[in-house]
Amino acid sequence: MPGSGKSTVGRQLARSLNWRFVDSDVEIERQLGHSIREHFERFGEASFRDVEQAVIVQLIASTESLVLATGGGAVLRPANRAALHSPGCQVVYLRTQVEDLLRRLRHDTQRPLLQGTDPGARLRELFTVRDPLYREVAHHTVDTGRLPVHTVVNLILMQLELGGTVCPAV
């Protein structure tokens, strides 16, 4: 979900693993040459989702070890969910309750889907639609709540180690 900590946690997780971190939204903006918000306004959500899908497929095809933070709506497309279940991928769902998302995003003006008269209602709507999709695609789920970033990262590392995805540091 928007505001769940994907970028913040992803950066720290990548540092812990000594892997490269990539935020798909940043890569999309780099390739577009303008902001996602501007793209939404000029071309609409469907066009954005097309670009997002191409970028996700491109990044997943990389042979480099990386932590990829996708946009919250990436799971809406079946092709993205399938790509995220490619061999070698491990998807972590940072599950965050709507109340915590509202607290984190109360001053955000950059997320196109949250601009409007009632961001809380919009977040609840997004959560209702997306939570089952996140659960479908996730190999691991971490309930973030009000946990500090380093705790969330440690929980992810433990799940990845238990699942045999990464080896513990010696």
Burial of 144: CB neighbours in 10 Å, binned 0-12, 13-18, 19+: buried
Which amino acids are annotated as binding site for ATP, given as ranges? 3-8, 111
Give the residue-averaged pLDDT of 84-102: 89
Q: Is 116 left (phi over 0), alpha (psi -120 to 50) or beta?
A: left
Give the residue-averaged pLDDT of 17-42: 94
Give the residue-averaged pLDDT of 130-142: 95
CA distance readout (Å), 3 to 33, 37, 153: 24, 16, 16
Question: Is the pLDDT at 123 greater than 90, yes or no?
Answer: no
Which amino acids are annotated as binding site for substrate, given as ranges? 25, 49, 72, 130
Q: Is the pTM of this model over 0.95?
A: no
Which amino acids are annotated as binding site for Mg(2+), given as ranges? 7
Give the chain's mean pLDDT.
Answer: 88
96 Cβ contact partners less than 8 Å away, ≥ 6 residues apart: 1, 3, 4, 5, 104, 143, 144, 145
Question: Is the pLDDT at 170 greater than 50, yes or no?
Answer: no
Q: Which residue has the higher pLDDT, 103 or 7?
A: 7
Instruction: Give the domain ranges of the chain.
Output: 6-162
Which amino acids are annotated as binding site, given as ranges? 3-8, 25, 49, 72, 111, 130
Question: Is the pLDDT at 136 greater than 60, yes or no?
Answer: yes
Task: In whole angstroms, give the CA distance from residue 93 to residue 119.
Answer: 22
- Structural fold of domain 6-162: Rossmann fold (3.40.50)
